Amino acid sequence: MPKDSTVLKLAKELIDIPSTSDKEGEKGVADYISDYLRSCGIESRTFEYRKGSANLVAEIGGKDRLMLNGHMDTVPVGDKKLWEHGLKAELLNGELYGRGASDMKGGIASILAAVSDIDFSKAANHGILLTFVADEEGKFTGSNWLLDNKKDIFNRVKYGIIAEPTDMRIQVAQKGIACMKISFHGKAAHSSAPQLGDSAILKAARFITALEELAKGFTVEDKILGRGTVNTGKIKGGTATNVVPDSCIINVDRRIVIGETPELAADQVKGLLRKMGINAEVKLYGASAFKLDKDSKIIEIMKRASGSKTYGAPWYTEAEIYKRKANIDCAVFGPGYSEAAHQANERVSVNNLEQCTEVFKRVITEWCSS
């Protein structure tokens, strides 16, 4: 059997260290990466900012640094019965299966394999910054912690690459999110006399349908990102079959484009509730849509190194946080399949892993020798 390439070996080993942010934590992956970098002569620092959750940082070469970033956490494995392959890293027909294969241990493996192949002794002016972070699949506390507490690391960093799964395309724009928890209230009564109560579930149901209709009329449109969307992802209400429910809570995920804001999305929802005469509380958690300036140097760098096309994604990545908090232009580019993320039988193509490593090598070599 032929020997695994460096990137394949790294990807397999990373996949085999479970690292959901709320269960195992990312510390195991951080320790693995730290050991690997040390074996390549690169020192790194690990910040365990809360128990089990860690960020890893390595500053290599000159001070004008290009950031390469990846999140070390994954979503949970979920229902094991749905997995035919990949409960442990498994190679089959040129595809590597396992949780995190695409999102995004494959991306991290490509960064590490690229870095280990480069001689940084001449990178006097331009260097690279590696940031491997925690909790991207949760509440983004990893990147936020670094940006808030280790600001000096980012002082002279203007550009970055986040190796999320993009099918080897250059992601230059992404939608924002407006997540809303909406609480409906009613009045309990015996089910046999519903006219004496006031059903909170019924109110929520009417509202959900009306919201779907409202979404058909979203008019703000972005050239790359298209229009906003809405999805009611969760509903919880009532206490028993024979009781008119006095409370119901729904979670709405509204994706927004440039020209919309989370607050505007919340105002739309509140306006609709008012119009329907429904009293409900709306709690908002949001982040803006994000687009790189079309002249940003990072797009040019990525195009040259990969020959790939640019696109806008309907999902959110931490590129928005790095721009907002540190003014870093991040392109998102990685070997993973965007479609395979968060699914059972998650996989990544070995070909993509190897090609992505080459792309990152070209980018880093060009950057460090300029």
CB nearer Zn ion, residue 112 or residue 204: 112
Cα 70 to Cα 162, 262, 272, 281, 344: the distances in Å are 6, 26, 39, 36, 21
CB nearer Zn ion, residue 89 or residue 104: 104
CB nearer Zn ion, residue 59 or residue 346: 346
- Name the minimum Å distance from CB 73 to Zn ion: 9
Q: Count residues near Zn ion (CB under 5 A).
A: 3
- Name the minimum Å distance from CB 306 to Zn ion: 19
- Name the minimum Å distance from CB 335 to Zn ion: 12
- Name the minimum Å distance from CB 59 to Zn ion: 23
Instruction: Looking at residues 182 to 241 of the shown chain, list those that interact with Zn ion (rule: CB under 5 A).
Output: none
Cβ-proximal residue to Zn ion, closest one: 103
- Residue 360 structure tokens: 């990152």
CB atoms within 10 A of CB 103: 26
Evaluate whether 86 touches 347 at the Cβ level (below 8 Å).
yes
Token match 């506390």: residue?
A: 141
Instruction: Looking at residues 146 to 175 of the shown chain, list those that interact with Zn ion (rule: CB under 5 A).
Output: 164
CB nearer Zn ion, residue 26 or residue 164: 164
Instruction: Looking at residues 7 to 36 of the shown chain, list those that interact with Zn ion (rule: CB under 5 A).
Output: none
CB nearer Zn ion, residue 74 or residue 306: 74
CB atoms within 10 A of CB 158: 16
Residue 268's DSSP bridge partners are none
- Name the minimum Å distance from CB 141 to Zn ion: 15
CB nearer Zn ion, residue 61 or residue 165: 165
Contacts of 216 (CB under 8 A, 6+ apart): none
CB nearer Zn ion, residue 89 or residue 182: 89
Q: Which residues of 180-203 are buried (b: 16+ CB within 10 A; e: fewer)?
A: bebbbebebbeeeeeeebbbbbbb
Residue 266: left (phi > 0), alpha (psi -120 to 50), or beta? alpha
Helix (H, G, I), strand (E, B) or coil at 224: coil
First-to-last alpha carbon distance for the chain, in angstroms, is 40
- Name the minimum Å distance from CB 91 to Zn ion: 22
- Name the minimum Å distance from CB 136 to Zn ion: 6
* Binding flags for Zn ion, 70-109, as an x/- string (CB under 5 A): ---------------------------------xx-----
Residue 52: left (phi > 0), alpha (psi -120 to 50), or beta? left
Instruction: Looking at residues 331 to 360 of the shown chain, list those that interact with Zn ion (rule: CB under 5 A).
Output: none
What are the residues binding Zn ion (CB under 5 A)? 103-104, 164
